Homo-oligomer: A and B are copies of this chain.
Amino acid sequence: MTKRYWEDFSAGQVEEFGRRTLTEDEIIEFATEFDPQFFHTDPVAAKDHFFGGLIASGWHTGSTLMRMMVDHQFANSSSMGSPGLDELRWVSPVRPNETLTAKSEVLETHPHPKRDDRGIVKFRHTVLNGDGDVKMTMISNVMFGRRPEEKA
């Protein structure tokens, strides 16, 4: 597998990847540490409330997307981290045992404004379940190193 540099991304590229199911136990464990609101941690209390059952913390869904991105897009790349997100939407609740997959679209690429060893890729990522229902969308900026020049 060839290493992926900034030059290898271009606007319009679409990729689909990843497959991850969050169990009830995993949802509760994550939320107990990072987002202990009852609709993320207490299946009984959640049943009688507005979501009608336990749902994953949005940070759990986002972190799960990140893992899919690392495994499938960044694993063998020159990724240098992210300056941030331009938008994130939690479109519909993620419930226990739903299978999540990801879709990635490159919106644009541009050289880093100050440093000539790297560039920025702006992505739109979508998290979907097995029925194609959209769970989350995210527009992010990721830095990648530029391809080293071949020595003559």
A39 at the interface (CB under 8 A from B): yes
- Kindly provide the distance from the CB of A67 to the nearest chain B CB, expressed in whole angstroms: 5
Q: Are A57 and B66 in contact (CB under 8 A)?
A: yes
Secondary structure at chain A's binding surface: helix, strand, loop or mixed?
A: mixed
A28 to chain B, nearest CB (A): 14
Residues of B within 8 A of A126 (CB): none
Q: For residue A73, give the distance in angstroms from its CB to the closest CB of chain B.
A: 11
Kindly state the separation between the CA atoms of A70 and B86 in the bound complex, as whole angstroms: 23
A5 within 8 A of partner (CB): no
Instruction: Check if B59 sits within 8 Å of A59, measured CB to CB.
Output: yes
User: 0/1 per residue, A70-89, Cβ < 8 Å to B?
Assistant: 11001000011111111111
A interface vs B, CB < 8 Å? 33-37, 39, 50-51, 55, 57-59, 62-64, 66-67, 70-71, 74, 79-90
Shortest beta-carbon contacts, A-B, top 3: A84-B89, A34-B63, A85-B88
